[in-house]
Structure 1
Amino acid sequence: ARRGHPLLGPKGIKPGETIPADVFCAIPQVLRSADGAKTGTIDPALERLGLSRKVAMTVPHFQAVALAVATSELLGSIPAHFARLVAERLDLDIFIPPMEPPAMDVTMYWHRRFDRDAGNAWLREQLVAVASFDP
């Protein structure tokens, strides 16, 4: 959320704390969705609680989520390590969502002729290392 979000502070919710599910769902949100779908990875968990969130905007990248949140009253869910990288620069506060988001699947594709290519194998190893990083 942007620093000093007007709907979180008055409820006594401080940065680093968990946003209660009812408050989380009541605040309009920006969702990262490559295909424009209005549901994301945490929506099934909300549905199991009988809740749904208000998606006001979809964007294709996590960077766009952070920028939209920084310039609005929307909430956004982005990976924690990315949030820590951009929070200070974009004047954001980091809160904990009301449920643990599921792990993200990341898939790589390459042509089979590159299976034994040393440069391609090195690049794949680097991508796996970066995608597996959890500070």
Structure 2
Amino acid sequence: MGIDESYLMPAYVKLLVNDAARAAAFYEALGFTRIHQDPVFVHLRWARYADVFLVAMPQAVSLPGARGVGVLLCFHAGDVSLETIATRAAAQGATTDGPRDQPWHTRELLVTDPEGYRLTFVEPTPQFIA
């Protein structure tokens, strides 16, 4: 199945955004693929079953402050190195932290998107695979 094929998703995340075009461009620069777009939302995919929907903020809604406080969206880095993702994020002006080795045998990169949502890209360390 190709990355642009439809399937039932057992889980996905919706992120309310002020500027869907800017947010979509950021995610695509990181390596997400745009699956669908309409006036209300943009469907992006990192990998199979790793989908994100960017939803335009309704005019009556205001979410001041940081988005996703206490929530991290985690993505397996796959074939893309954490250093490459960090470089792509920095080129978009994003704040990054890492990559850092974690005690649970992964290396992780934290990226904060333009809306304030925090994404973690993860790759296993050799101890995890062993």
Q: TM-score, normalised by structure 2?
A: 0.29
Q: TM-score, normalised by structure 1?
A: 0.28
The structure with more helix, counted as a fraction of residues? 1
Higher RCO (CA 8 Å, separation ≥ 6 residues): 1
